[in-house]
Amino acid sequence: MIAPQRNHVRSYRATLGDMSSSPWSTPPSTPWSTPPLAGGPEGADALRPLLGTVLDALRDGATARGGPLPPGGPGAVTAHLRDALADVLPDKGTGAEEALRTLVTALAHGAADPAHPHCAAHLHTPPLAVAAAADLAASALNPSLDSWDQAPAASTLEALVTRALATETHPTGPAPDALVTTGGTESNQLALLLAREHHGPTLQTVCGANAHHSLHRAAWLLGLPQPVTVPAPHGTLDLAALDAVLTDLRGPLLVTATAGTTDTGSIDPLPEIADLCDRHGATLHVDAAYGGPLLFSETRRHLLTGLNRARTVTLDLHKLGWQPVAAGLLAVPDTALLDALGHTAPYLNPDDDTRAGLPDLLGRSYRTSRRPDVLKIAVTLRALGRTGLGHLVDQVCDAAARLADQIDEDPRLDLYERPTLSTVLFRPTGATDHTVATTRRDLLTRGHAVLGRAHAGGRLWLKATLLNPHTTPDDLRELLALVEGSTTR
Ligand SMILES: *Cc1c(COP(=O)(O)O)cnc(C)c1O
């Protein structure tokens, strides 16, 4: 078989012009040489010098930036990047070294860098070096988790890690399991999809006013009725209002609670919500995209009591898990609950392959080609252990408590409430909402700080979401000084 194929390639190539005698070598007259690959025994040696270039560019870009983000706002950043890039698709390539140096330096220079202690707007995590290094291996090997013959070991690793993590959320489940997702958005959508497949298309979702916007989009995308929203006047779902809504509604119900809200980091009262679900025959989903990793903390895991009573749990290790995006999970107490996702494509999981013992992976996602995001997660879990991860969780939550103390002690600043997780809302005393909004934009465009914003208690607040375990009390004092300086300018 082999010889005719090669002959065929040779004759095909020959028709293209002056190819040399071997179909795989290039004519000496052209400067082109086929770029090296990342995999195989030679891949590492091809990557090594390029990595040196990448790492130098990361350092140079971050040094040139000097702060949490580049100054000047979108206009300045766009101009800088346009200059660096010049021609997106040049006729003649510049070569790997130059392309990496130019673009990685420009991107690092123009980054909002969550590794800077004053970049604290969103659930935008500073990835651990060990996780980023593991992600490089995922890119080099490029296993794709849609069939076993593209990912023999990666699929086993995913099975082992997802079971172990689901055992954290559902320790008493009959067969805990989890799907790896691109994040909370996909996990929430899968949760609604599984509930719809179980209960039918009349399924009514009930969520708090504090719930993540992705739940509304998921209902829209899945053709479900729009969620009924229950008030959350103090940042958490109001139990009496939930009881009333569940009493009024007819038909199958899915209640979604949040463990770690995006605006305030609050945790809904999970045991009481689970009791109400039991009483009204509703299914419970918990969106623990933010708060889930409290499970690793000895001193804080009690805050998630009741999580195990959810039929589906959203986790997001690219938040309090210090993974590069993407690292989402949807955990269930019983792997059978995932059966609805089962799907056959004859070229990926034919029945005879499955009967012969090849794992059937298509039902592990609704994506087809899929990165082994589980590798960086597995490496991090092993490198840090439960204790190490729990310690990181405690560090950022303790930093938030310290920031709240500093705000409390400062008569020029108002604190919204004591933080539950690592989110702190505050505002300059006596400021209008307009001043709060312009203060945030001013810090942003001057390149001084990246803070978020949130509406709570009828007012607009500045939001600091602390995810950097290296942040010191002095960093926090400087952050507050920047806010005060910006407000009084
Ligand atoms: C971040 C977040 C999401 C969305 O997760 P992505 O990873 O951004 O898709 C959903 N729910 C909550 C509570 C979140 O904090």
CATH of the domain at 235: 3.40.640.10
3-state secondary structure of 287: strand
For range 34-40, the mean pLDDT: 97
Q: In this structure, are 218 and 337 located in the same domain?
A: yes
Residue 24 has pLDDT above 60, yes or no: no
Residue 125 has pLDDT above 80, yes or no: yes
For range 386-390, the mean pLDDT: 98
Task: Record the tokens describing residue 58, joined without a space.
Answer: 């990361």
> Minimal CA–CA distance to 293: which of 263, 310, 313, 269?
313
Q: How many domains does the chain have?
A: 3
Look up the domain containing 67 and give its range.
2-113
> Minimal CA–CA distance to 191: which of 328, 304, 361, 374?
328
Of 383, 410, 426, the residue at which a domain comes to its end is: 383
Ligand 1 centroid to Cα of residue 260, in Å, is 10
Q: In this structure, are 224 and 151 located in the same domain?
A: yes
For range 264-268, the mean pLDDT: 98
Residue 270 has pLDDT above 90, yes or no: yes
| CATH code where residue 394 lies | 3.90.1150.10
Ligand 1 centroid to Cα of residue 186, in Å, is 9
Residue 5 has pLDDT above 70, yes or no: no
Q: Is residue 321 part of a domain?
A: yes
185 C-beta closer than 6 A to ligand 1: yes
| Spatial distance between the Cα atoms of 355 and 257, rounded to a whole number of angstroms | 40
Nearest CA to ligand 1 atom 4: 184
268 C-beta closer than 6 A to ligand 1: no
Which has more confidence, 11 or 116? 116
pLDDT at residue number 16: 40
Q: In this structure, are 366 and 397 located in the same domain?
A: no
**Per mean pLDDT, which range of 11-25, 166-180, 256-270 is the poorest?**
11-25
Q: Is residue 130 part of a domain?
A: no
Q: How confident is the model at residue 10 (pLDDT cuts 50, 70, 90)?
A: very low
Instruction: Name the amino acid, one letter, at 43.
Output: G
SS (H, E, C) 403-472: HHHHHHCCCCEEECCCCCCCEEEEEECCCCHHHHHHHHHHHHHCCCCECEEEEECCEEEEEEECCCCCCC
Which residue reads 């009690």 in tokens?
Answer: 302
| Spatial distance between the Cα atoms of 385 and 121, rounded to a whole number of angstroms | 28
Residue 30 has pLDDT above 70, yes or no: no
For range 31-59, the mean pLDDT: 95
Nearest CA to ligand 1 atom 10: 184
Of 348, 365, 383, the residue at which a domain comes to its end is: 383
Q: In this structure, are 79 and 38 located in the same domain?
A: yes
Tell me the sheet residues that pair with 455.
460
Q: Is residue 118 part of a domain?
A: no
Say if residues 308 and 271 touch (Cβ distance below 8 Å).
no
Say if residues 118 and 450 touch (Cβ distance below 8 Å).
yes
Q: In this structure, are 266 and 343 located in the same domain?
A: yes
Residue 1 has pLDDT above 50, yes or no: no
Residue 22 has pLDDT above 70, yes or no: no
Q: Is residue 330 part of a domain?
A: yes
pLDDT at residue number 2: 38
Q: In this structure, are 425 and 397 located in the same domain?
A: yes
378 C-beta closer than 6 A to ligand 1: no
Mention every residue, 6+ apart, whose C-beta is less than 8 A from residue 401: 418, 419
For the stretch 273-290, pLDDT in tens is 999 999 999 999 999 999
**Per mean pLDDT, which range of 5-14, 141-150, 191-200, 338-347 is the poorest?**
5-14
Q: Is residue 339 part of a domain?
A: yes
Which has more confidence, 13 or 370? 370
Q: In this structure, are 31 and 85 located in the same domain?
A: yes
pLDDT at residue number 420: 98
pLDDT at residue number 338: 98
Q: In this structure, are 378 and 397 located in the same domain?
A: no
Mutate to test the pocket of ligand 1, among 187, 314, 320, 325 (most ligand atoms within 8 A of CB): 314
The strand ranges marked E within 280-409 are: 283-288, 312-316, 328-332
For the stretch 303-337, pLDDT in tens is 999 999 999 999 999 999 999 999 999 999 999 99
Q: In this structure, are 217 and 83 located in the same domain?
A: no
Q: In this structure, are 265 and 288 located in the same domain?
A: yes
pTM given for the model: 0.93
Q: In this structure, are 394 and 283 located in the same domain?
A: no
Q: Is residue 124 part of a domain?
A: no
**Per mean pLDDT, which range of 5-19, 234-248, 334-348 is the poorest?**
5-19
Mutate to test the pocket of ligand 1, among 262, 286, 320, 421 (most ligand atoms within 8 A of CB): 262
Q: In this structure, are 64 and 37 located in the same domain?
A: yes
Q: How confident is the model at residue 464 (pLDDT cuts 50, 70, 90)?
A: very high
For range 437-466, the mean pLDDT: 98
Q: How confident is the model at residue 28 (pLDDT cuts 50, 70, 90)?
A: low
Of 322, 350, 383, the residue at which a domain comes to its end is: 383
For range 183-195, the mean pLDDT: 98
285 C-beta closer than 6 A to ligand 1: no
Q: Is residue 282 part of a domain?
A: yes
Residue 9 has pLDDT above 60, yes or no: no
> For residue 199, how far is the Cα from the chain centroid?
29
Counting atoms of ligand 1 from 1, which one is nearest the CA of 316? 7
Say if residues 366 and 186 touch (Cβ distance below 8 Å).
no
Q: How confident is the model at residue 32 (pLDDT cuts 50, 70, 90)?
A: confident
Q: Is residue 123 part of a domain?
A: no
